Amino acid sequence: MNIVTRLLLELQEMSLLSARAVGGLFRKPRYIPETVAQMDSIGVGSLTIILLTGFFTGAVLTLQTYPTLESFGAVSQLGYLVSISLVRELGPVLTALMVTGRVVSAISAELGSMVASEQIDAMRALGTDPIRKLVAPRLIALVITLPLLTLIADVVGIAGGWAVSTFMYGLPSAMFTASVRDGITTDDIIGGIVKPLVFAFLMATIACHKGLKTEGGTVGVGRSTTSAVVTASIIVIIADFFLAKALQVILGTQ
């Protein structure tokens, strides 16, 4: 098989997987406790890394841009710059990448070792569809929690920017907050929520697909985990560009 056929085949398998996972949501049994447990481990579990990432991204952004803005005499726009960068781009993408590192790897490793130890086969043999029992709860949990995590990263990031500008550069606190308030529009916020929704869907599908396709025992688990993280990270960054363009067109903000 050449690389194009393989890519198309993977794409087809992933589409089928996500279609079956979503299709299963409308029939009983529904796995609500599993979904809640996944939301806890994915969402609450990722809170620390997201708080740290968000805060320091906002902080370093301010640290680096303040001198430039100062040379233009535009420090009053600092809050605008920091919040727009975070809400539109850095928040969604960095959160998605951090969660990819933590959650996508965990999901594909978990499902991969279940394949390697025949637990997936055992589940099917016991009459339970692993796509509905394992894939759907993870997909839903990620789609719900990633936008929330992004929102938290945005807020904490702006706080980080504020902290640096106030305590290190001595910018009046009110000037920063005012420019944040004036700068951000509803469209920015919509874009900042739509992106993580799409990212989460892609990340969960890739993670589950790679995990369930594991072949060749424990070595295979390692391979599929690496492949899931790499693929998901790249796809997030590529999808970010096209989503940004699409949102510009849809919301008419170009």
Tokens, residue 106: 């965990």
Among 119, 166, 177, 226, interactor with another protein by CB under 8 A? 119
What is the DSSP code string of 187-240? HHHHHHHHHHHHHHHHHHHHHHHHHHT--SHHHHHHHHHHHHHHHHHHHHHHHH
Cis ω for the linkage preceding 33 (within 30 of 0): no
Of residues 13-52, those binding another protein (CB under 8 A): 29
Of 29 and 67, which CB lies nearer to another protein in the complex structure?
Answer: 29
Among the candidate windows 48-56, 126-134, 191-199, 234-242, which touches another protein by CB under 8 A?
Answer: 126-134
Among the candidate windows 118-126, 157-165, 201-209, 243-251, which touches another protein by CB under 8 A?
Answer: 118-126
Of 125 and 249, which CB lies nearer to another protein in the complex structure?
Answer: 125
State the DSSP H helix or E strand holding residue 144, giving kind and residue range, or none if neither.
Answer: helix 136-167
Tell which residue, 54, 1, 28, 231, has the closest CA to residue 133.
28
How many residues does the structure list for the chain? Answer: 254
Question: Is 215 a residue that touches another protein (CB under 8 A)?
Answer: no
Among the candidate windows 8-16, 120-128, 198-206, 242-250, which touches another protein by CB under 8 A?
Answer: 120-128
124: which DSSP letter? H
Question: Is 216 a residue that touches another protein (CB under 8 A)?
Answer: no
Among the candidate windows 114-122, 167-175, 183-191, 204-212, which touches another protein by CB under 8 A?
Answer: 114-122
Q: What angle do CA 174, 177, 178 make, to 5 degrees?
A: 80
Question: Is 127 a residue that touches another protein (CB under 8 A)?
Answer: yes
Cβ at position 150, least distance to another protein in Å: 29
Tokens, residue 205: 């599908």
Question: Is 3 a residue that touches another protein (CB under 8 A)?
Answer: no
Among 6, 40, 124, 250, interactor with another protein by CB under 8 A? 124
First to last CA, the chain: 42
Cβ at position 124, least distance to another protein in Å: 6
Residues of this chain that interact with another protein (CB under 8 A) are 29, 117-119, 121-129, 133
